[in-house]
């Protein structure tokens, strides 16, 4: 039996809490090490994860939470993923881009975000923006635009930042008409573009040689409250 910060390994796949407060803390590497040793049993791994979360002088990190999320995703335990995500919110554990990507992958497996909203994972505008940025870096236009459509179907209204992400992705792919169409849509919906939005579109127009159109957007920016930087 090997002791580990208040836990005792009683077998290759068994853990039990030791009564009393543990003497020392547990690093994220140690916690992940234990989780890896019992990863074939998601129920036991999840039980260990929750037990650690209850210890006074041990705080989960983004790394341990992300590992637990990924393990649960592999075993398609989306409901338990919601518990982990809720813990991260309650304990103010930083949710990084990898956190959202893992959740996104799980939701795609389960058939979309709408499927698990009722299970406790409540996507926000920030969640969608993070996923769109990550997908945009992979030049995955279909996913980015699909996320835009999906967030709107859930009642989330795109803001300047989310629209700009879409315009950037479309522009880099040479889909200028679609990018320009989003700029017009922003005006129509009262979501005025900012200087970054204009700059992104101007850059895309120049890249494909549409200089007249780029000049038109530039003049539009000058006539607005936003000035060129």
Q: Which domain holds residue 200?
A: 151-229
> Is 191:159 a contact under the CB 8 Å cutoff?
yes
Place 228 in a pLDDT band, splitting at 50, 70 and 90.
low
* pLDDT score, position 101: 77
Three-state secondary-structure class, residue 15: strand
Domain-located, residue 101:
no
CA angle 165/127/100 to nearest 5° reads 105
Answer whether residue 221 is part of any domain.
yes
Residue 65 resides in a domain: no
Q: What's the confidence (pLDDT) of residue 137?
A: 82
For residue 185, what pLDDT is reported?
Answer: 93
* DSSP 8-class letter at 23: S
Note the pLDDT of residue 163. 96
Kindly state whether residue 170 falls inside one of the protein's structural domains: yes
Q: Report if residue 165 sits inside a domain.
A: yes
* 3-state secondary structure (DSSP) of residue 14: strand
- CA distance linking residue 136 with residue 183, whole number of Å: 18
If one counts the domains in the chain, the total is: 1
State the Cα–Cα distance between residues 148 and 72, nearest whole angstrom.
26
- CATH, residue 197: 1.25.40.10
Average pLDDT value for residue range 150-162: 89
pTM of the model: 0.58
pLDDT band at 124 (very low <50, low <70, confident <90, very high): confident
- Two tokens, residue 191: 């979501």
Tell me what the pLDDT averaged over the chain comes to: 79
In a domain, 114, yes or no: no
Q: For position 146, what pLDDT does the model report?
A: 86
- Give me the mean pLDDT over the 144-170 stretch: 91
223 within a domain of the structure (yes/no) = yes
pLDDT, tens digit, 9 for 90 and up, residues 178-227: 998 999 999 899 998 999 999 999 999 998 899 998 999 999 888 876 65
> Per the domain annotation, does 77 fall within a domain?
no
pLDDT at 126 over 60: yes
């Amino acid at each position: 039996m090997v002791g580990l910060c208040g836990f005792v390994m009683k077998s290759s796949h068994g853990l039990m809490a030791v009564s009393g407060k543990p003497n020392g803390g547990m690093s994220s590497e140690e916690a992940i090490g234990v989780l890896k040793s019992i990863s074939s049993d998601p129920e036991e791994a999840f039980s260990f994860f929750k037990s650690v979360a209850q210890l006074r002088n041990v705080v989960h990190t983004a790394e341990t939470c992300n590992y637990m999320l990924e393990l649960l995703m592999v075993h398609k335990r989306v409901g338990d993923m919601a518990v982990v995500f809720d813990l991260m919110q309650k304990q103010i554990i930083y949710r990084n881009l990898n956190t959202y990507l893992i959740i996104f992958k799980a939701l795609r497996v389960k058939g979309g975000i709408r499927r698990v909203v009722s299970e406790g994972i409540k996507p926000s505008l920030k969640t969608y923006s993070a996923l769109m940025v990550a997908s945009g870096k992979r030049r995955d236009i279909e996913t980015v635009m699909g996320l835009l459509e999906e967030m709107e179907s859930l009642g989330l209204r795109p803001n300047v930042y989310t629209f700009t992400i879409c315009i950037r992705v479309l522009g880099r792919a040479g889909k200028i008409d679609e990018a320009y169409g989003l700029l017009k849509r922003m005006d129509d919906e009262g979501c005025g573009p900012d200087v970054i939005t204009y700059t992104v579109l101007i850059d895309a127009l120049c890249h494909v040689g549409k200089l007249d159109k780029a000049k038109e957007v530039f003049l539009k920016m000058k006539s607005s409250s936003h000035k060129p930087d």
